[in-house]
Amino acid sequence: MSVTPFAFSTQLPRVVFGAGSIQYLQREIELLGSTRAIVLCTPEQRGSADLVAAVLGDRCAGVFDGAVMHVPMEVAREAQAFARKVGADCMVAIGGGSTTGLGKAIALESALPILAIPTTYAGSEMTSIYGITENGLKKTGKDPRVLPKTVIYDPELTLTLPAGLSVTSGMNAIAHAAEGLYAQDANPIMSLIAEEAIRSMAQGLRRVHIDPFDIDARSDCLYGAWLCGIVLGSVGIALHHKLCHTLGGSYNLPHAETHTVVLPHAIAYNTPAAPDMVGRIARALGADNAARGLYDLAKSLGAPTSLRDIGMPDGQLDRCAEIATQNAYWNPRPIEQAEIRQLLEAAYYGNPPA
C-alpha cells in the first residue's frame, strides 16, 4: 500500500457519548465555567428542552423555542436579543441541524460557547460551518467561534426521531463521510473514520427501520453520525453536496431527503475517478458496488429515491444542470453539464444509478 502525501489537522469538540449521558449535563456546563445557560430548541422539541432545563436546575437562564429550518436572520436576531436579556453565558442546543444552526448564529455575534445535544444525525455539531438565511438567500461560512465546545450524544434522546426521518437523516450523514473519502484534502485518518462511519450508520439504520426503539441500533446510528460529522468538519466536499445545495436552494426541497435521493447518483458519477475510495463505501455497506449499494439501502429502508417524489417541479432538469455547473468547484471527476443533466434525470425519476 502506498500513502499519498497529505496534511492533517483537526479541531474537535469534547464528546460525552452513551445512553443516559444527559445526566452529565450539569458537570459539563460546570467544566465550561458557565452558570447561566439558555436552552435552544424547535417548537416541536419544547418538551425535550424543558427536560434539559430541569436537569440544569438553577443554571438554566431560560428556554428559546423558536429554532426553524435554515436559520432565518429574524430568528437569529430574536434569539441573540433573548440571550442578552437573560444574561446568558452559554447555550445548550438540543435538536437537529436547525437548532445547532441557531446556536451557531448566536455564537457568531456573541462568542457564547455552545454545548450541543444532537437528536438527529445531521452532524452540524462537529463543524465550524454556519448558515443564515436573509431575504431568501442562505449565506454559509466557516468560523471557529461557532464550533460547539462540548457535545453530549445520548441515544435515548433519538428514540423519538420517527423511523422515516431517522433513515433520511442517516443517509444525509453517510453523504458527509462518502464525499470525505475523495475530498481534495482527504487524508488517511479521515478515510478510516469515514469508512467506519458508513458501516456503523448503515448497520444501525437497518435495525432502526425494524424497531425504532432498539437502543443498541440507535447507539450505532448516533456513533456513526458523530464520525460522519467529524469527516464533514475536517475535510472538504464535492459534487454531491454542491448538487444538494443547488436543489435545496432553487426548489426548496427537504434537506435530508434530497441528500438521500442524490447520493447514489453522485457516487456513481465519481466512481471512475476515485475507484479505490469509492470501493471503501461498498466495503462498509457489504455491497459489490457503492452507488448501487446506497440506492438499494435507501430503497430497502423505505426512503425516497426520486426527486419528483420529494417536490422537484417538472421541466427543471436543464436549468438545474446549468446552475449546478455554473461556478467551478473541485471534484475528482471534471463536471460536465451534459453528464450532470443525465445524473439529475436518473435522480428525478428514481432510476438506479448508472
Give CA–CA dist 14/150, Å, rounded: 5
**Residue 312 has what DSSP assignment?**
P
| 69 sits near ligand NAD (criterion: CB under 6 A) | yes
Task: Tell me if 225 sits within 8 A of 121, measured CB to CB.
Answer: yes
**Residue 4 has what DSSP assignment?**
P
Shortest Cβ 292–ligand NAD spacing (Å): 25
Shortest Cβ 166–ligand NAD spacing (Å): 9
Within 38-57, the residues that bind ligand NAD by CB under 6 A are: 42, 44-45
Give CA–CA dist 203/199, Å, rounded: 6
Q: Which is nearer to ligand NAD, 152 or 157 (CB)?
A: 157
End-to-end CA distance of the chain: 30
Give how many residues touch ligand NAD by CB under 6 A: 27
Select the span of 90-98, 234-242, 303-311, 333-341 touching ligand NAD (CB under 6 A): 90-98
Q: Which of 13, 72, 96, 204 binds ligand NAD (CB under 6 A)?
A: 96
Q: Which of 178, 256, 263, 285 binds ligand NAD (CB under 6 A)?
A: 256
Select the span of 92-100, 205-213, 299-307, 326-334 touching ligand NAD (CB under 6 A): 92-100
Give CA–CA dist 337/320, Å, rounded: 10
How many other C-beta atoms lie within 10 A of the C-beta of residue 192?
A: 12
| 180 sits near ligand NAD (criterion: CB under 6 A) | no
> H or E element: which one contains 239?
helix 239-251
Grid cell 425504532 is found at 212
**Residue 72 has what DSSP assignment?**
B
Question: Contact residues for ligand NAD (CB under 6 A)?
Answer: 42, 44-45, 69-70, 95-99, 101, 119-120, 122-124, 127, 129-131, 157-158, 160-161, 169, 255-256
